[in-house]
């Protein structure tokens, strides 16, 4: 901490440079105060020291000896006494208000508040940067960000709240004036114009169109090349190209059946029911065929016969090696596997 000189030092006239510098050398608290406790403690400044420093030969650092202006002054032949007088007059003019400030507490308060404001602004900038960075980190790749960019669907995520009917148009962004012909929507004011279309104008347009467009709505779609049915007006036929990409005139069911299908309200659909019935008929036919055969169907006996044939077809060595496997032949699927093996062996023999 710098000490506070109690006097205003004036430069020596002999070494006065052409530039006048008024420098606030030090602004500090009283010797008892501590700067470390700056924010919390009240600081009293007793003296504000203003020193007009020129070449500052008192400092003794020798920097001013290299000052080109100072060198010019020394070799230039300017009267230093005259300049010193003018400087003295200048300082005497500014001395009064500065010394008037001396001893008042306003300057100290101003400096303190300036420091507080500066520190507060630094803190605010720092906090804002932290908040922005953390917020940016949250946004990137988040669900809300993806939905905002259209890469996710909000309705599948369950984060959107559907609008309820209760107040669908209570939109603060829309203000409709009752008296004037303007409306404010989303911050913009739009001018309104009345619609003046009359019934007469509408009917005249209808009359114009009826004269121009004389069209009969087609009721029958036919493939190009087909013959027109005798009871159909040729003007009501729409010809569909055979290679139409989206339409065809071919249907595997008749008109009445299609209509019944559309009007059906309960039960199995027609095609499902038909397929089910066809399968049921097939099963019944199979069962009846089995019943009509003389030997009743005995799955155990047929399996045993099948095993006997397999065992007789295999060589003796292989039968011995496959003995544990054969124990599983009671299962019908295992029988299928052995059958496959047998057939492959037979094929190899052939």
Partner 1 sequence: MASSLHPYSFPASFHPLPHLSTRSLNPRHSNRTRFTPIPIRSMLQWNRKPELSGETPRVVVITSGKGGVGKTTTTANIGVSLARYGFSVVAVDADAGLRNLDLLLGLESRVVYTAAEALNGDCRLDQALVRDRRWSSLELLCISRPRSKLSLAFGPKALTWVVDALRSRSSGPPDFVLIDCPAGIDAGFVTAIAPAHEAVLVTTPDITALRDADRVTGLLECDGIRDIKMIVNRVRTDLIRGEDMMSVLDVQEMLGLALLGVIPDDAEVIKSTNRGYPLVLNQPPSMAGLAFEQAAWRLAEQDSMKAVMVEEEPKKRGFFSFFGG
- Write out the binding residues for partner 1, residues 34-53 only, by CB under 8 A: none
In the complex, minimum distance from the CB of residue 150 to partner 1, in angstroms, rounded to a whole number: 5
Q: State the nearest-atom distance from the C-beta of 285 to partner 1, in Å.
A: 24
- In the bound complex, what is the minimum distance in angstroms from residue 155's beta carbon to partner 1? 6
> Which of 61, 178 has the CB closer to partner 1?
178
Half-sphere exposure of residue 143: CA atoms within 13 angstroms, side-chain side? 8
Which of 6, 193, 323, 347 is the binder for partner 1 (CB under 8 A)? 193
Residues 190, 275: Cα–Cα separation, whole Å: 64
Q: Rounded to the nearest whole angstrom, what is the least distance from the CB of residue 235 to partner 1 in the complex?
A: 5
Out of 144, 190, 276, 304, the residue judged to bind partner 1 by CB under 8 A: 190
Q: Is the dihedral angle over the CA atoms 111, 116, 119, 120 positive or is it negative?
A: negative
Residues within window 222-241 making contact with partner 1, judged by CB under 8 A: 228, 234-235, 237-240
- For partner 1 (CB under 8 A), the number of binding residues is 88
Which one, 79 or 255, has the nearer CB to partner 1?
255
* Shortest distance (Å) from residue 270 CB to partner 1: 3
State yes or no: residue 89 binds partner 1 (CB under 8 A).
Answer: no
Mask: binding to partner 1, 141-170, rule CB under 8 A, as x and -? ------x--x--xxx----xxxx-x-xxxx
Say how many CA atoms lie within 13 Å of 296 toward its Cβ.
2
Of positions 138, 180, 330, 337, contacts partner 1 by CB under 8 A: 180
- Which of 61, 136, 158, 186 is the binder for partner 1 (CB under 8 A)? 186
Q: How far is the CB of 168 from partner 1 (least distance, A)?
A: 6
Closest to partner 1 by CB, 182 vs 302, is 182
Instruction: Give the nearest distance from C-beta 230 to partner 1 in angstroms.
Output: 15
Residue 270 burial (C-beta neighbours within 10 Å; 0-12, 13-18, 19+): middle
Choose between 69 and 189: whose C-beta lies nearer to partner 1. 189
Taking the complex as a whole, the smallest distance from the CB of residue 244 to partner 1 amounts, in Å, to 7
The pairing of strands 182-185 and 174-176 is antiparallel
**Quick check: helix, strand or coil at residue 235?**
helix
Q: Is position 106 an interface residue for partner 1 (rule: CB under 8 A)?
A: no
CA geometry: angle at 304 spanning 302 and 307, to 5°?
110
Give the DSSP H/E element, type plus range, for residue 256.
Answer: helix 255-263
Q: Is 184 in the site for partner 1 (CB under 8 A)?
A: yes
Q: How far apart are the first and last CA of the chain?
A: 114
DSSP for 17-57?
-SS-EEEE------TT--GGGTTTS--------EEEESS-T
**CA 158 vs CA 144, 153, 319: distances in Å:** 11, 9, 65
C-alpha–C-alpha distance, residues 1 and 28, integer Å = 8
Please pick, from the candidates 61, 178, 317, 320, the single residue that binds partner 1 as defined by CB under 8 A: 178
Q: Which residues are paired to 182 by β-bridges?
A: 191
List the interface residues with partner 1, window 256-285 (CB under 8 A).
257-259, 261-266, 269-272, 274
Stretch that binds partner 1, among 41-49, 82-90, 134-142, 174-182 (CB under 8 A): 174-182
The residue within the footprint of partner 1, chosen from 142, 219, 287, 325 (CB under 8 A), is 219
Alpha-carbon gap, residue 93 to 87, rounded angstroms: 10
Residue number with CB closer to partner 1 (12 or 205): 205
Angle, alpha carbons 193-197-202 (nearest 5°): 160
Exposed e or buried b per residue across 309-324, where buried means at least 16 C-beta atoms within 10 angstroms of its C-beta: ebbeebeeeeeeebee
């Amino acid at each position: 901490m710098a000490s506070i000189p109690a006097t205003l030092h004036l430069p020596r006239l002999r070494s006065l440079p052409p530039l006048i510098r008024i420098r606030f050398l030090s602004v500090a608290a009283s010797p008892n105060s501590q700067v470390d406790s700056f924010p919390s403690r009240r600081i009293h400044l007793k003296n504000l020291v203003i020193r007009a420093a020129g070449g500052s030969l008192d400092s003794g650092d020798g920097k001013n000896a290299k000052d080109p202006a100072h060198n010019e002054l020394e070799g230039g032949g300017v009267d230093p006494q005259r300049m010193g007088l003018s400087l003295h007059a200048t300082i005497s003019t500014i001395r009064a208000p500065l010394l008037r400030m001396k001893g008042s507490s306003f300057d100290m308060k101003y400096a303190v508040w300036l420091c507080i404001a500066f520190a507060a602004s630094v803190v605010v900038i720092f906090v804002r940067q932290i908040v922005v960075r953390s917020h940016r980190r949250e946004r990137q790749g988040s669900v809300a960000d993806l939905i905002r960019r259209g890469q996710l669907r909000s309705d599948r995520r369950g984060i959107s709240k559907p609008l309820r009917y209760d107040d669908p148009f209570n939109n603060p962004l829309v203000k409709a004036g009752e008296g004037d012909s303007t409306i404010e929507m989303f911050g913009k004011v739009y001018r309104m114009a009345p619609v003046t279309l009359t019934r007469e104008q509408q009917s005249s347009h209808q009359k114009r169109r009826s004269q121009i467009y004389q069209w009969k709505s087609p009721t029958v779609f036919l493939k190009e090349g087909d013959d027109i049915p005798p009871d159909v007006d040729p003007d009501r036929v729409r010809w569909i190209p055979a290679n139409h990409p989206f339409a065809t005139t071919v249907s595997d069911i008749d008109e009445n059946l299609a209509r019944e299908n559309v009007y059906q309200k309960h039960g199995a659909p027609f095609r499902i029911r038909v397929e089910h019935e066809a399968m049921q008929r097939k099963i019944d036919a199979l069962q009846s065929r089995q019943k009509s055969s003389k030997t009743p169907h005995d799955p155990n006996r047929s399996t045993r016969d099948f095993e006997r044939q397999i065992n007789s077809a295999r060589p003796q060595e292989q039968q011995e090696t496959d003995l544990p496997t054969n124990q599983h032949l009671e299962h019908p699927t295992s029988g299928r596997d052995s059958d496959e093996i047998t057939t492959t062996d037979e094929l190899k023999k052939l």
